[in-house]
Chains A and B, each alone.
Chain A
Amino acid sequence: MKTFQWTMQDELGLHARVAGELVKCVSQLSSKVTLEKGGKTADATRLFAVMALCVRQGEVVTVTVEGPDEERDCAVVQDFCSHNF
C-alpha cells in the first residue's frame, strides 16, 4: 500500500472538471485508489463520491494506492495531482 498527501491548490477546490479527469486517470489503473479527507473516504473511480468529499482550496487529501502495480500507479496519480491541482 502506498500513500501520499496533497494540498488542494485550485481556488475552486476539487471541482467537477478536475474530479472528472482524476476519475478518468484512475480508472485506467489496476490499483484501487482511495481518497480520504477528514475521516470521509471515496473510491477515486467514482465521480460523485469524489465530488461529495467537497475538497476545498488549502485542504489536504490523503491518497492511498493499493494493488500489484501500486508503485507505478502511485507515481501516475502523483504526477496527475502535481499537474492538475
Chain B
Amino acid sequence: MKMPEHQMHLIRGVATSGGVAMGHVHLLRHHPRHIAFTEAADPEAELRRAEQARDKARRELQDLGETSSREIGPECGQIFLIHQMMLDDRDYWDSVVRVIRARRTCAEYAVQQATRQFTAMFSGMEDTYMRARMADVQDIGNRLLRALNQAQASFPPFPEKGGVAAARYFLPSQVLELCAQGVQGFLAQEGSRSSHAAILARMLGVPAVSALGASFSRLFNGCTVIADGFTGDVLIDPDDASRETYGAFLRAEKGERELVGQLSGLPSQTRGGRRVAILAGIWQPSDLDLALRMGAEGVGLYRTESLFRDRPDIPGEEEQMRVYRSMVNLLGDRPLTVCAASLGAHSQITCLPFDEEQNPAMGLRGVRYSLRHPELLRTQLRAVLRAAEGRSVSVTFPMVTSAEEFRLARAALSRAEDELRAEGLPFGKVPLGVMIGTPAAALIAEELAREADFFTVSMNGLTQFALAVDRANQSVSTIYDYRHPAVIELARRAVFAAKNAGIPAVICGDAAADPLMLGFFLGLGVDALVVAPSSVLELRRAVRAMQ
C-alpha cells in the first residue's frame, strides 16, 4: 500500500521577533483557571490578604525589574516598572476593594473580577498599541493570584527544552519564564510587535510569530514546525528541503550566538591589560538595539543623515531631540557621538535643495554645508545639547580642512548654549570633535588638537582623499587601500597630535575592524575603535588574543 504523501502546510502571521525556531509545538493554555464566587465570612480579613498579596507582588516586580534590567537591558526593566505602577493604580485597587466589600467575597475572586474589568477596557480599544496592554493587566492579575495562593501557579513548566510554545497570546513574565526554560520560539494567535511579550522576545533573541489568526488552529501538540521570525512564515511538518535550508541557517546562527555568549560581556582588553573601547558606528537609531546586543561599549559615530532621508520636510528640534534622547536612554552610561549631518549633493536627500555639482564628493558637504546653512546646524546642535542633559553625548564634524572651520562650528555650539540658557531650557555639556577625514586635517592635526575635545580619525575619508580614489568606482577600486603608507602616515600624525594634546583619539572606517590593523592602532595609543555592530565581537576576540 502506498503511504500518504508527506504534506507540509504554510501558515502566515506577523513577524514579531527575528530568528528561526525549529521544534515541536506545545500548546499552552493561557488563562488562569476560573475562580468561582465564594462568600467570605470576614471581608476585612480578605482585604488584608489582598493587601499582603499586593505587597508581595510589588516586591517580586521590583526584583524582576532590577534583575532583568541588569541582565537583559534597561528597556526590559521598564516593562516591569510599568507593571508595578499598574499594580498600584488606584482605580484598579479600588475595584478589588469594592468587589470584596460589596459582594463579601474572597480576595481571589475580587482580583479576578477587577482584572477582567481592566483587561476588557484595553482589549476593547481600537489602538493596537493600547490593546496590547491587555496582556500586562492579565499578567499583574496572575501575579496577584499567585501571591494569594502558592498552589495556583499560572504557568506550568514547559514540557520540552528546545520546543516551540504556542498560545493565544503570551504574558510578559511568561516570556521570561519560558525563555529561562529553553523555549526556542513563540507562536501566538493574537498579539503585535508592540506587545511587551514581543519586545521581551526580541530582547532575549527568541524568534516569535504572532497574529496567526484562524490558521493558528492548524497547530497541534507535538507537531514539528519551522517558525521564521523574519518573515512571519510558519511551516507545519516541513519537508526535507525546508529542514535543510533552515537547518543551515540555524547552524550558522549558533556559531554567532556562541561568540556573543563568550564575548559580549567581556572587556576589550589585550592579554597585557591594554584596554580599547569598541564602539558601534550606526546609520539608523534602530541599529542601536543590535549594537548593544553585540556588546558595543557605546556609539562612536551616529550618522544623522537618515533623519533627513525619505521625507518632504526637515526634521525639527523637538523631533531630533526625541531621537537622540531615546538613544541615550537605551545607552545609559555608555557614550554617544553624533556626527553633524553631512548633507550635500552626495547625500540623496530630497527635503533640502542642492545645486547640481560636478564632483559632489569634493563639494559642499560636511562642515562646509553646515556652516553655509546655520539654521540646520543650529537646530541639530540645540537638539543634541538638550538630549545631552545628564548624559555623555558629543558631536563630531566631518570634512574639516582648517582650524577656522572648526572654530566657527564651536561658535555655533556656544550660541546654541546661550540661547538655551536664555530660554531656561536645560542642556548638557557636549564635547566637540574633529573628524580627521581629509589629508589637510591630518597635516594640521596639531593645530586642530588645540581646539578640539577629541579626534575621530576617518580611515575611509583619509584613504579616499589621500589616494584620490572613489572606492565605489570599480575601475579604480583596487587602488583603494587603507594600508597604503601615505594613509598610515596621515593616521599616525593625527593620533600622535591627539595624544600629545591629551585628547582622545577614535578610529572609524573599515580599517578599524581589520584585525591586521589592530596592532598599529593600539601601538599608536588609540582610545576607541568604531565598527559596524556585526563586527564588535570579532574585533573584541582579536583584541583579547593580542599580547
Q: Does B516 contact A (CB under 8 A)?
A: no
Chain A binding surface, main DSSP class: helix
For residue A29, CB closer than 8 A to chain B, the reply is: no
Contact (Cβ within 8 A) A47 B89: yes
Q: Give A34-54 as 1s and 0s: 1 = Cβ < 8 Å from B's Cβ atoms.
A: 000000000001111101101
The minimal Cβ–Cβ distance linking A26 to chain B, given in whole angstroms, is 12
- B194 neighbours in A (Cβ, 8 Å): 12
How many pairs of residues, A versus B, come closer than 8 Å at their CB atoms? 46
Count of A residues near B, CB < 8 Å? 21
Please tell me if A32 contacts chain B, counting CB pairs below 8 Å: no
Asked if B408 CB lies within 8 Å of chain A CBs, one says no
Closest to B136 in A: A16
Q: Across the interface, do B125 and A48 meet the contact criterion of CB distance under 8 Å?
A: no
B287 within 8 A of A: no
Question: Please, which residues of chain B bring their CB within 8 A of the CB of A23?
Answer: 85
Provide the residues of chain A in CB contact with B129, threshold 8 Å. Answer: 12-13, 15
Residue contact A52 to B81, C-beta cutoff 8 Å: no
Q: Are A48 and B121 in contact (CB under 8 A)?
A: yes
CB-CB nearest in chain A for B326: A10
Query: In the bound complex, what is the Cα–Cα distance between A81 and B312 (angstroms)?
Result: 27
Q: Which residue of B lies closest to A7 (CB)?
A: B318
CA distance in complex: A17, B330 (Å): 13
Q: Could you tell me the distance between the alpha carbons of A83 and B383 in the complex, rounded to whole angstroms?
A: 11
- Is B391 an interface residue when CB atoms closer than 8 A count as contact? no
Question: Measured between alpha carbons, how far is A17 from B121 in the docked complex, in Å?
Answer: 18
Q: Does the CB pair B130–A48 fall under 8 Å?
A: no
Query: Which A residues are in CB contact (< 8 Å) with B325?
Result: 83
Q: Point out the residues of chain B lying under 8 angstroms from A54, CB to CB.
A: 125-127, 130
Contacting pair A47 B86 (CB below 8 A):
yes
Q: Cα distance A17–B84 when bound, in Å?
A: 12
Determine if A24 is an interface residue (Cβ-Cβ < 8 Å): yes
Q: Which residues of B contact A51 (CB under 8 A)?
A: 122, 130, 133
- B172 to chain A minimum Cβ distance, whole angstroms, is 11
Which of A12, A20, A49 has the most chain B CB atoms closer than 10 A to its own CB? A20
Please indicate the chain B residues that have their CB under 8 angstroms from the CB of A46 in the complex: 89-91
CB distance from B528 to the nearest CB of A (A): 29
Docked complex Cα distance between A15 and B82 (Å): 11
Question: B92, A48: Cβ atoms under 8 Å?
Answer: yes
> Of A13, A17, A48, which is in contact with the most chain B CB atoms at under 10 Å from its CB?
A48
Q: Are B90 and A45 closer than 8 Å at their CB atoms?
A: yes
CB 8 Å contact bits of B102-135 with A (1 = contact, 0 = none): 0000000000000000100110011101100100
| Given A54-B125, A56-B127: A49 and B91 interface contact (C-beta under 8 Å) | yes
**CB <8 Å contact, A48 and B86:** yes
A16 to B136, CA, bound (A): 10
Residues of A within 8 A of B218 (CB): none
Instruction: Say whether A9 contacts B82, CB under 8 Å.
Output: no
Interface residues of A (CB under 8 A from B): 9-10, 12-13, 15-17, 20, 23-24, 45-49, 51-52, 54, 56, 82-83
Chain A to chain B: the 4 pairs with minimum beta-carbon distance, closest first: A47-B89, A20-B85, A16-B82, A48-B89
> 8 pairs across A/B with beta carbons < 8 Å?
A13-B129, A16-B133, A17-B82, A48-B89, A48-B91, A48-B92, A52-B121, A52-B125
